[in-house]
Amino acid sequence: MSDEQPFAGIRVIEFGQFVAVPFCSQLFAQGGAEVIKVESLEGDPVRQLGQLVEGETRIFLSRNRGKHSLPLALRHPAAADVIDRLLGNA
């Protein structure tokens, strides 16, 4: 088994919820990419499905390991500036 990280040095900005997009970006994180998951202040709805502890579920933890979480008030005008800066560095 190789310790090579093919996505090292890559930054991925994720805006996904539930399963498909978080799974894909999880693969990038496992491959060494820095993944930043942008969520609403309420968080990804998967955080609420069958909680282990408040705000955490098995599927959320499994699909979002190795990622940074950035909660934003997505409808607030300042959020657009934050997103622009993130995308400019991705």
Burial of 76 (0-12, 13-18, 19+ CB in 10 A): exposed
pLDDT digits (tens, 9 = 90+) for 42-62: 988 888 887 777 777 888 888
Work out the pLDDT band at 84, boundaries 50, 70, 90: very high
How confident is the model at residue 1, as a pLDDT? 55
The answer to whether the beta carbons of residues 26 and 64 sit under 8 Å apart is yes
Q: Is the pLDDT of residue 14 over 70?
A: yes
Residue 87 has pLDDT above 60, yes or no: yes
pTM, entire model: 0.82
Provide the pLDDT for residue 5.
95
